Structure 1
Amino acid sequence: MSLNFLDFEQPIAELEAKIDSLTAVSRQDEKLDINIDEEVHRLREKSVELTRKIFADLGAWQVAQLARHPQRPYTLDYVRLAFDEFDELAGDRAYADDKAIVGGIARLEGDR
């Protein structure tokens, strides 16, 4: 199982791997008179349709898995894109720092 795909996304991963292998073969063997562009196009359309079908009928646990995906952007990723000079305020001065809550002071287009 690929690290980029969750268990319910495996059919999509397998189809994407097939598309990648076909495009790699077509690039390597340009001398051969094999046109696989139509097949690649058909597989890409099938991948889009399969993705729609899978994501249209997700269960509660699958939604939770997507929300917790390790490659999903974190709050600080968005903060770095939107603000300048972000100073994170951390800790509750009594127990510990909660990584799930992000707060701080930053500049937005030069204003503080």
Structure 2
Amino acid sequence: MEIFRAARLVVDTGIHSKKWTREEAVQYYLDNIANPEGDIRAEIDRYIVWPGQATAYKIGMLKIGELKKKAETELGDDFNIAAFHDVVLASGSVPLSVLEDMVDTWIKETKAGA
């Protein structure tokens, strides 16, 4: 999955910064990941109409991982993955700074026994 995620970042950047054609993007995927060509073309079409999608997803993934590690470290044995997921998912799509505030609040409340 990490190879696939890395390829997504390359293709997203290639299309929107390097001005790759659809076929150049498809060929990059074909050369670097093992997905079926039909799936690749659908993925490429999504990146064409949604600039930065892959990059935004990766940044979000990294931030959520960072917040999870922070919560695990601060809460130790009191860390509950289901509760962490509830905090992350409860408000839907929010800016990462807001999500960080929400997780920090949850950590404080969990430490206080709330």
| Bigger-Rg structure (1/2) | 1
Structure having greater relative contact order (Cα 8 Å, sep ≥ 6)? 2
Between Structure 1 and Structure 2, the one with more helix by share is 2
> Common fold, TM-score beyond 0.5?
no
